Amino acid sequence: CGNADTLTLTVESPMYIQAGLDLTACEHSGDLVLEVEDFESTFLWSAVSEEGAEALVSSETGVVDVSVLTTGTFTYVVTGGEGTCQTNDSVNIHVLPLPEINMPMDELYCVNAGEVVLNPPSPLGGAWSGMGISNPVAGLFMPDLAGVGNHTLSYAYTDLSTGCAAT
């Protein structure tokens, strides 16, 4: 007397997941979405570091809040596939520092002083804005346009080597 049964096994080739090219972001910028290239199965994102994990808003969508990260490189791993056919890949986010702007000392001008050149901030190459600015790039200020009182002027600078901007 005997009994027999059968088992059917399916062997598949794994789908290799690709996280794409490394990314660059400026410090304090907003959300960044990590993307998976041509992968039709489920996948999840994770971070290698604790700081990276705190910035990972969603492991399903790969949204990272860059404003939570300090400058440096953060590695994220995407894992996808089913059963023993799971594969993974990683991508780095390089978080670059914002330029540091050093402003000149506060200044006092008479309302009838005429057009004046503001003392330059560091680094050079940015643009001024605010009440009384007549030429943002040259830093020309007209006290009579601003009027009597205290005025807050801003200076915006973009680092051409990183693309990061500060005001």
pLDDT at 146: 95
Question: What 3-state class would DSSP assign to 57?
Answer: strand
pLDDT at 131: 96
8 exposed, middle or buried (CB, 10 Å; 0-12, 13-18, 19+)? exposed
pLDDT at 15: 84
pLDDT at 12: 80
pLDDT tens per residue across span 21-62? 999 999 999 999 999 987 878 899 999 999 999 999 999 999
DSSP letters, 69-104, are: --SEEEEEEEEE-SGGG-EEEEEEEEEEPPPPPBPP
pLDDT at 125: 95
pLDDT tens per residue across span 132-165? 999 999 999 999 999 999 999 999 999 999 999 9
- Phi and psi dihedrals of 115, rounded to 5? -65, 130
pLDDT at 1 over 80: no
pLDDT at 22: 96
Q: How many CB atoms lie within 10 A of CB 33?
A: 11
Instruction: Specify the pTM.
Output: 0.79
pLDDT at 18: 92
Q: Which two tokens stand for residue 3?
A: 């009994």
pLDDT tens per residue across span 99-109? 999 999 999 99
pLDDT at 84: 83
pLDDT tens per residue across span 81-92? 888 888 999 999
pLDDT at 138: 96
**What CA–CA distance (Å, rounded) separates 132 from 126?**
17
Instruction: Give CA separation, 65 vs 53, 71, 135, in Å.
Output: 10, 13, 36
More confident residue, 15 or 157: 157
